[in-house]
A and B are shown apart, each in its own frame.
Chain A
Amino acid sequence: MDFFDRFAVPHPSFLIYASMVAIGLTVIAVLVGITYFKKWDYLWREWLTTVDHKRIGIMYLISALLMLFRGGVDAIMLRAQLAIPDNKLLESQHYNEVFSTHGVVMILFMAMPFIMFFFNFVVPLQIGARDVAFPRLNAISFWLFFMGAMLFNISFVIGGSPDAGWTSYFPLAGNDFSTSVGSNYYMIAIQIAGIGTLMTGINFITTIFKMRAPGMKLMQMPMFTWSALISNLIIVFAFPVLTVLLAMGTMDRLFDTKFFAIGDGGSDMLWANLFWVWGHPEVYILILPAFGLFSEIISTFARRNLYGYKSMVASMVVISAFSFFVWAHHFFTMGQGALANSFFSITTMAIAVPTGVKIFNWLFTLWKGKIEFTTPMLYAMHFLPLFTLGGVTGVMLAMSAADYQYHNTMFLVAHFHNVIIPGVVYAMLGGLTYYWPKMFGFMLNERIGKWTVWLMSIGFVLAFIPMYITGLDGQARRMYTYSEATGFGPLNMVAFIGAGIMAISFALLVYNIYYSVRYSPRNIGNDPWNARTLEWATHTPVPEYNFAVMPQVKSTEAFWDAKKNGHEIFKGKIEKIHMPNSSGLPFIMSCIFFVFGFSMIFSIWPLAIISLLGILGCLVYRSFEKDHGHYIPVEEIEETETKLRGAK
Chain B
Amino acid sequence: MKLKWALLAMIFTVAAVLSGCEPLLVLDPKGPQAKVQADDIMLSIWIMSGIVIVVFAILVFVLVKYRASKQSADYEPPHIEGNMFVEAICIGVPIIIVIFLSVMSVKSNYEVEATPKGYEGQEPLVIYASSSNWKWHFSYPEEGIETVNYVNIPANRPLEFKLYSFGPITSFWIPQLGGQKYAMGDMVTTLHLAAYEPGELMGRNANFSGEGFAENTFDVEAMSQADFDKWVKEVHDTAKPLTEEKFNDLLEPGHLGRSTYTGTHLEFSPAPEHHHDSADSDKVSEEGNHHHESSDSLKEEDHSHHH
Q: How far is the CA of A341 from the CA of B184 in the complex (A)?
A: 18
Q: In the assembled complex, which residues on chain B have CB atoms less than 8 Å from the CB atom of A480?
A: 213-214
Residue B149 is within 8 A (CB to CB) of chain A in the complex: no
Does B10 lie within 8 Å of A263, measured CB to CB? no
Candidates B25, B63, B277, B281; contact of A474 at CB < 8 Å: B25
Q: In the assembled complex, which residues on chain B have CB atoms less than 8 Å from the CB atom of A346?
A: 98, 102, 105-106
Does B21 lie within 8 Å of A487, measured CB to CB? yes
- Return the CB mask of B1-43 against A: 1 if under 8 Å, else 0: 0010011001100100110011011110000001011101100
Residue A392 is within 8 A (CB to CB) of chain B in the complex: yes
Q: In the assembled complex, which residues on chain B have CB atoms less than 8 Å from the CB atom of A393?
A: 48
Stretch at the interface among A288-296, A306-314, A580-588, A629-637: A306-314
Please provide the chain B residues from 27 to 78 with a CB less than 8 Å away from any CB of chain A in the complex: 27, 34, 36-38, 40-41, 44-45, 48, 51-52, 55-56, 58-59, 62-63, 66-68, 71, 75-78
Q: How far is the CA of A490 from the CA of B133 in the complex (A)?
A: 30
Q: In the assembled complex, which residues on chain B have CB atoms less than 8 Å from the CB atom of A172?
A: 168-169, 208-210
Residue A302 is within 8 A (CB to CB) of chain B in the complex: yes
Please provide the chain A residues from 549 to 584 with a CB less than 8 Å away from any CB of chain B in the complex: none
Residue A19 is within 8 A (CB to CB) of chain B in the complex: no
Q: In the assembled complex, which residues on chain B have CB atoms less than 8 Å from the CB atom of A349?
A: 98, 101-102, 105
- Return the CB mask of A321-334 against B: 1 if under 8 Å, else 0: 00000000001011
Residue A433 is within 8 A (CB to CB) of chain B in the complex: no
Does A302 lie within 8 Å of B66, measured CB to CB? yes
Q: How far is the CA of A307 from the CA of B98 in the complex (A)?
A: 24
- Return the CB mask of B150-178 against A: 1 if under 8 Å, else 0: 00000000000001000111010101001
Q: A96-B210, A268-B184 are in contact. Are A454 and B3 (CB under 8 A)?
A: yes
Does B48 lie within 8 Å of A368, measured CB to CB? no
Does B179 lie within 8 Å of A333, measured CB to CB? yes
- Return the CB mask of A600-622 against B: 1 if under 8 Å, else 0: 00000000000000000000000
Stretch at the interface among B83-91, B139-147, B218-226, B292-300: B83-91
Does A263 lie within 8 Å of B58, measured CB to CB? no
Among B91, B109, B178, residue most surrounded by chain A Cβ atoms (within 10 Å) = B109
Does A304 lie within 8 Å of B80, measured CB to CB? yes
Closest chain A CB from B104 CB (angstroms): 7
Q: A333-B171, A478-B208 are in contact. Are A338 and B281 (CB under 8 A)?
A: yes
Among A92, A267, A409, A474, residue most surrounded by chain B Cβ atoms (within 10 Å) = A474
Residue A40 is within 8 A (CB to CB) of chain B in the complex: no
- Return the CB mask of A365-380 against B: 1 if under 8 Å, else 0: 0111111110000000
Q: In the assembled complex, which residues on chain B have CB atoms less than 8 Å from the CB atom of A458?
A: 3, 6-7, 10
Q: How far is the CA of A368 from the CA of B66 in the complex (A)?
A: 6
Closest chain B CB from A558 CB (angstroms): 14
Residue of A nearest to B171 (CB): A408
Candidates B101, B113, B168; contact of A177 at CB < 8 Å: B168
Q: How far is the CA of A303 from the CA of B71 in the complex (A)?
A: 12
Q: A404-B178, A461-B7 are in contact. Are A171 and B167 (CB under 8 A)?
A: yes
Q: In the assembled complex, which residues on chain B have CB atoms less than 8 Å from the CB atom of A26?
A: none
Q: A92-B211, A385-B55, A407-B206 are in contact. Are A401 and B108 (CB under 8 A)?
A: yes
Q: In the assembled complex, which residues on chain B have CB atoms less than 8 Å from the CB atom of A353?
A: 91, 94-95, 98
Closest chain A CB from B190 CB (angstroms): 7
Closest chain B CB from A46 CB (angstroms): 41
Residue of A nearest to B2 (CB): A454
Q: A171-B185, A494-B14 are in contact. Are A404 and B82 (CB under 8 A)?
A: no
Closest chain A CB from B217 CB (angstroms): 10
Q: A368-B78, A461-B7 are in contact. Are A401 and B111 (CB under 8 A)?
A: yes
Q: In the assembled complex, which residues on chain B have CB atoms less than 8 Å from the CB atom of A304?
A: 77-80
Q: In the assembled complex, which residues on chain A have CB atoms less than 8 Å from the CB atom of B249?
A: none
Q: A172-B210, A339-B280, A408-B206 are in contact. Are A363 and B62 (CB under 8 A)?
A: yes
Closest chain A CB from B284 CB (angstroms): 7
Q: In the assembled complex, which residues on chain B have CB atoms less than 8 Å from the CB atom of A367?
A: 62, 66
Q: In the assembled complex, which residues on chain A have CB atoms less than 8 Å from the CB atom of B27?
A: 472
Residue B231 is within 8 A (CB to CB) of chain A in the complex: no
Q: In the assembled complex, which residues on chain A have CB atoms less than 8 Å from the CB atom of B17?
A: 490
Does A360 lie within 8 Å of B90, measured CB to CB? yes
Candidates B10, B63, B66, B105; contact of A381 at CB < 8 Å: B63
Residue B237 is within 8 A (CB to CB) of chain A in the complex: no
Residue B207 is within 8 A (CB to CB) of chain A in the complex: yes
Among A92, A388, A393, A404, residue most surrounded by chain B Cβ atoms (within 10 Å) = A404
Q: In the assembled complex, which residues on chain B have CB atoms less than 8 Å from the CB atom of A361?
A: 82, 90
Does B37 lie within 8 Å of A341, measured CB to CB? no
Candidates A272, A302, A373, A388; contact of B51 at CB < 8 Å: A388
How many pairs of A and B residues are in contact by the CB < 8 Å rule? 295
Please provide the chain A residues from 451 to 510 with a CB less than 8 Å away from any CB of chain B in the complex: 454, 457-458, 461-462, 465-466, 469, 472-474, 476-482, 487, 490, 494
- Return the CB mask of B265-289 against A: 1 if under 8 Å, else 0: 0000000000001111100100000
Residue A269 is within 8 A (CB to CB) of chain B in the complex: yes
Does B169 lie within 8 Å of A165, measured CB to CB? no
Please provide the chain B residues from 99 to 119 with a CB less than 8 Å away from any CB of chain A in the complex: 101-102, 104-106, 108-114
Please provide the chain A residues from 503 to 530 with a CB less than 8 Å away from any CB of chain B in the complex: none
Q: How far is the CA of A363 from the CA of B59 in the complex (A)?
A: 6
Residue A644 is within 8 A (CB to CB) of chain B in the complex: no
Does B181 lie within 8 Å of A357, measured CB to CB? no
Q: How far is the CA of A465 from the CA of B211 in the complex (A)?
A: 27
Among B76, B175, B277, B307, residue most surrounded by chain A Cβ atoms (within 10 Å) = B175
Q: A333-B182, A357-B91, A399-B104 are in contact. Are A268 and B77 (CB under 8 A)?
A: no
Residue A640 is within 8 A (CB to CB) of chain B in the complex: no
Residue of A nearest to B60 (CB): A385
Residue A169 is within 8 A (CB to CB) of chain B in the complex: yes
Does B108 lie within 8 Å of A399, measured CB to CB? yes
Q: How far is the CA of A481 from the CA of B202 in the complex (A)?
A: 16
Does B25 lie within 8 Å of A473, measured CB to CB? yes
Does B82 lie within 8 Å of A370, measured CB to CB? no
Residue of B nearest to A340 (CB): B280
Q: How far is the CA of A372 from the CA of B82 in the complex (A)?
A: 22
Does A366 lie within 8 Å of B208, measured CB to CB? no
Residue B81 is within 8 A (CB to CB) of chain A in the complex: yes
Residue B204 is within 8 A (CB to CB) of chain A in the complex: yes
Q: How far is the CA of A359 from the CA of B55 in the complex (A)?
A: 8
Q: In the assembled complex, which residues on chain A have CB atoms less than 8 Å from the CB atom of B22?
A: 487
Q: A177-B167, A465-B14 are in contact. Are A385 and B59 (CB under 8 A)?
A: yes
Residue A24 is within 8 A (CB to CB) of chain B in the complex: no
Q: A338-B280, A465-B14 are in contact. Are A404 and B168 (CB under 8 A)?
A: no
Q: How far is the CA of A402 from the CA of B175 in the complex (A)?
A: 11
Closest chain B CB from A261 CB (angstroms): 9
Q: How far is the CA of A342 from the CA of B112 in the complex (A)?
A: 12
Does A400 lie within 8 Å of B109, measured CB to CB? yes
Residue A203 is within 8 A (CB to CB) of chain B in the complex: no
Q: How far is the CA of A172 from the CA of B41 in the complex (A)?
A: 31
Q: How far is the CA of A310 from the CA of B77 in the complex (A)?
A: 20
Q: How far is the CA of A116 from the CA of B52 in the complex (A)?
A: 32
Pairs A–B under 8 Å by Cβ, sample size 18: A92-B213, A164-B208, A171-B169, A263-B307, A304-B77, A305-B79, A309-B81, A333-B179, A335-B189, A335-B278, A337-B113, A342-B109, A353-B94, A373-B67, A403-B179, A408-B208, A454-B3, A469-B14
Given pairs A177-B168, A267-B186, A369-B77, 5 additional interface contacts (CB within 8 A)? A96-B211, A268-B169, A269-B184, A371-B63, A398-B105
Chain B residues with CB under 8 Å of chain A are: 3, 6-7, 10-11, 14, 17-18, 21-22, 24-27, 34, 36-38, 40-41, 44-45, 48, 51-52, 55-56, 58-59, 62-63, 66-68, 71, 75-82, 86-87, 90-91, 94-95, 98, 101-102, 104-106, 108-114, 133, 163, 167-169, 171, 173, 175, 178-182, 184-187, 189-190, 202, 204-214, 277-281, 284, 307
